[in-house]
């Protein structure tokens, strides 16, 4: 059978847009790739398989299989593969969405991948069967959105405590600047010490602000390469604020587990089949 890739994406309904960056449906024709890197980003990730369970492994750890999963914010790529999964739905979830839709702070899911069933319970277990009974992607997206809207009505009041507004401000500033703002400046803006901000930020999001800034700058570099694959790496490094091309390459090895050129050779043809700046391309 000829190999290929089918991709469908749409923006969430208005009531969910503060919580969900995008909904994406994927389907492979033929065999799926042996390896796909789930890159870190500003989003948590939800994946719902429509056939076989998805294989996920952290660096140096064994593969775990999931029919549905939620992955928290993380700073190194996860390996996706070793599985015959060929189709599913992926959602990019904002940290605010973790509290509102899942009933847990994003920090509780930091650098973890867990079964969505363990978080949402029976509705998540019933979701896969309902989705598999549908053939149209728009109808599948509507079913997922219905579940999330129901969760928003029941989960948001169950989160222990509320995120401090200073932390929400700090997160938004990091995202707005793609990680270019320093932690000292960020702490001064919210009126906290650097140490206090770092401790509270790590508890809330699962990553300290300096590491989150690295992830956001890397995410910006990835997005630019997807849009313009012929960009010279030295120009990309300067454009996103790395000291030089060597700095960019070191960060790519640290975060993605390979060089930029290796990532482009192995994965860019796959990503180019998708919408250029789709936030749901990262994760879990």
* Site of tokens 């509320």: 162
Cis, peptide link before residue 284, omega less than 30° from 0? yes
**Nearest Cα residue to 90 out of 3, 4, 5, 10:** 10
Q: Is 268 helix (H, G, I), strand (E, B) or coil?
A: helix
pLDDT higher than threshold 60 for residue 6: yes
pLDDT tier for residue 129 given thresholds of 50, 70 and 90: confident
DSSP state of 2: -
| pLDDT at residue 277 greater than cutoff 50 | no
| Burial group, residue 181, by CB count within 10 angstroms (0-12, 13-18, 19+) | middle
Contact 284, 47 (CB under 8 A): yes
Is 166:190 a contact under the CB 8 Å cutoff? yes
The two beta strands, 68-71 and 64-66, are unpaired
Please indicate whether residue 62 or residue 151 has the higher confidence score (pLDDT).
Answer: 62
The SS3 call for residue 23 is strand
pLDDT of residue 273: 38
Mean pLDDT of 189-216: 97
Q: Which of 2-6, 85-89, 186-190, 206-210 has the lowest mean pLDDT?
A: 2-6
CA distance 144 to 58: 27
Ramachandran class of 82: left when φ > 0, alpha when ψ lies in -120 to 50, beta otherwise = left
């Amino acid at each position: 059978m000829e190999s290929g890739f089918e991709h469908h994406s749409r923006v969430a309904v208005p009531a969910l847009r503060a919580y969900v960056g995008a909904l994406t449906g994927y389907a492979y024709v033929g065999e799926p790739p042996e390896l796909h890197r789930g890159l870190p980003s500003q989003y948590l990730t939800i994946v719902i398989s429509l056939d076989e369970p998805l294989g996920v492994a952290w660096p140096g750890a064994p593969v775990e299989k999931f029919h549905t999963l939620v992955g928290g914010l993380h700073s190194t790529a996860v390996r996706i593969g070793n599985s015959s999964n060929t189709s599913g739905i992926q959602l990019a979830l904002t940290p605010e969405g973790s509290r509102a839709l899942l009933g847990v702070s994003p920090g509780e899911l930091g650098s973890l991948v867990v079964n969505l069933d363990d978080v949402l319970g029976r509705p998540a277990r019933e979701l896969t069967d309902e989705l598999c009974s549908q053939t149209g992607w728009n109808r599948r997206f509507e079913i997922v959105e219905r579940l999330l809207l129901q969760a928003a009505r029941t989960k948001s009041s169950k989160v222990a405590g509320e995120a401090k507004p200073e932390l929400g401000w700090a997160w938004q500033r990091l995202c707005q600047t793609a990680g270019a703002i320093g932690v000292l400046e960020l702490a001064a803006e919210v009126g906290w010490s650097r140490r206090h901000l770092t401790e509270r930020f790590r508890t809330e999001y699962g990553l300290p602000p300096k590491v989150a800034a690295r992830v956001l700058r890397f995410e910006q570099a990835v997005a630019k390469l997807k849009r313009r694959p012929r960009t010279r790496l030295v120009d990309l490094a300067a454009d996103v604020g790395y000291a030089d091309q060597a700095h960019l390459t070191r960060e790519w090895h640290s975060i993605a587990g390979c060089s930029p050129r290796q990532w482009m050779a192995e994965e860019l043809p796959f990503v180019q089949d998708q919408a250029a700046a789709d936030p749901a391309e990262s994760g879990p």
